[in-house]
């Protein structure tokens, strides 16, 4: 089973994709995949709907995918979390996770256009595994508790403007939160259905492979990140945490050029689906 949201921006409805590929509109039973949905045990509820099918209508193949979660309270990101990526940018291996925020206003659907901000000169891509919280987590006692607090996994393109991020002063939020800089989806896959520690990630630009790695190269794995973050602030149901990008980003290789209007990006993580975005001028 996979969760998704479909329809026009701002008017998305909740859906589920069954193991046989059938897509069902579950809006007659569930309002939306909001923080309140996750807090109320919504993952168990939607699993029951998937098992029964009931009177849910099917969803047409041509429908737009929205982000698989409605506006979360927090969108947290981890920086420099893959060994080969840290090496390519010439940084020392971190002793603790680098944590920053992306504003939730940057979230868009997995196939929506990515907009080049005005004054942008160094637009970059980052395929990332993201997870969505299913339960409140605060001061977890150990990593062993972590996975029980996660609702599911999804794909994030942590789009970045490197000059805004690194050369314009302050923290990273300016270079990470421009409109459309947070494509999520297409699916939210329940945590028990795949292993976050062993997933292949790939990204191409205009058909050319740029990133090809595995979550096995992570420095800080998903269970550790949940435990670690919970020591500093409460992770709430529906919160999104994107876990860092592997090697192959443009900033790490002088032979690669920055993204420009007209480019297309395609991102895939095993078992979680595929995103495809076109870059457009503001």
Say whether both 119 and 238 belong to one domain.
yes
| pLDDT tens-digit map of 104-163 | 999 999 999 999 999 999 999 999 999 999 999 999 999 999 999 999 999 999 999 999
Q: Is 0.85 topped by the overall pTM?
A: yes
| 277 and 200 within one domain | yes
Same domain as 239, residue 142: yes
pLDDT range class, residue 222, cuts 50, 70, 90: very high
If asked whether residues 260 and 155 sit together in one domain, one would say yes
Query: Quick one: 14 and 89 in the same domain?
Result: no
Distance CA 98, CA 168 (A): 19
Q: Which residues, in sequence order, are bridge partners of residue 79?
A: 98
Q: Do residues 271 and 181 share a domain? A: yes
> Looking at 43, 64, 85, which one is the last position of a domain?
64
Q: 261 and 116 in contact (C-beta within 8 Å)?
A: yes
- Same domain, residue pair 51 and 133: no
Q: How far apart are CA 241 and CA 133, in angstroms?
A: 8
Q: CB-based burial of residue 163 (10 Å sphere; 0-12 exposed, 13-18 middle, 19+ buried)?
A: middle
pLDDT for the residue numbered 256: 76
Average pLDDT over residues 195-213: 97
The CATH number linked to 271 is 3.90.850.10
Report the helix count and the strand count for the chain, using DSSP H and E: 6, 19
Instruction: Give tens-digit pLDDT for 15-55.
Output: 999 999 999 999 999 999 999 999 999 999 999 999 888 78
Dist CA 206 CA 210 (whole Å): 10
Q: What are the tens digits of pLDDT across the range 47-105? A: 999 988 878 999 998 999 999 999 999 999 999 999 999 998 888 999 999 999 999 99
CA pair distance 139, 137, nearest whole angstrom? 7
Of 31, 46, 64, the one marking the end of a domain is 64
Q: Note down the domain range covering 12.
A: 2-64
Under DSSP, the state recorded for 108 is E
Q: Residues 51, 73: one domain?
A: no
Q: Which of 44, 64, 84 is the last residue of a domain?
A: 64
Same domain, 174 and 257: yes
Q: 198 with 234, same domain?
A: yes
The size of the chain, in residues, is 282
Is it the case that residue 170 has pLDDT exceeding 80?
no
Work out how many domains the chain is built from and give that number. Answer: 2
Please name the helix (run of DSSP H) or strand (run of DSSP E) that holds residue 38, with its range, or none: helix 35-39
| Bridge-based pairing state of the strands 273-281 and 114-116 | parallel
Task: Clarify whether residues 12 and 120 are in a common domain.
Answer: no
141: Cβ contacts below 8 Å, ≥ 6 apart: none
């Amino acid at each position: 089973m996979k969760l998704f949201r479909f329809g026009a921006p701002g008017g998305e409805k909740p859906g589920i994709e069954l193991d046989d590929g059938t897509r069902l509109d579950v809006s007659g039973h569930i309002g939306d995949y909001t923080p309140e949905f996750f807090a109320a045990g919504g993952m168990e509820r939607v699993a029951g709907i998937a098992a029964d099918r009931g009177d849910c209508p099917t969803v047409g193949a041509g429908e737009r995918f929205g982000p698989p979660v409605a506006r979360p309270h927090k969108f947290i990101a981890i920086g420099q979390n893959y060994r080969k990526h840290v090496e390519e940018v010439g940084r020392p291996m971190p002793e603790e996770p680098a944590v920053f925020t992306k504003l939730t206003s940057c979230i868009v659907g997995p196939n929506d256009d990515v907009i080049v901000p005005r004054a942008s000169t160094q637009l970059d891509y980052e395929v990332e595994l993201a997870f969505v919280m299913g339960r409140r987590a605060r001061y977890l006692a150990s990593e062993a508790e972590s996975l029980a607090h996660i609702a599911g996994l999804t794909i994030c393109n942590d789009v970045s403007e490197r000059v805004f991020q690194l050369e314009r002063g302050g923290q990273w939020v300016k270079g990470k939160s421009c409109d459309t800089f947070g494509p999520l989806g297409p699916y939210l896959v329940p945590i028990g259905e795949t292993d976050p520690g062993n997933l292949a990630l790939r990204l191409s630009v205009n058909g050319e492979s740029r990133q090809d790695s595995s979550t096995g190269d992570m420095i800080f794995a998903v269970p550790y990140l949940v435990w670690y973050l919970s020591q500093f602030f409460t992770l709430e149901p529906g919160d999104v945490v994107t876990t860092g990008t592997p090697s192959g980003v443009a900033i790490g290789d002088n032979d690669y050029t920055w993204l420009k209007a007209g480019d297309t990006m395609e991102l895939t993580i095993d078992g979680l689906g595929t995103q495809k975005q076109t870059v457009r001028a503001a």
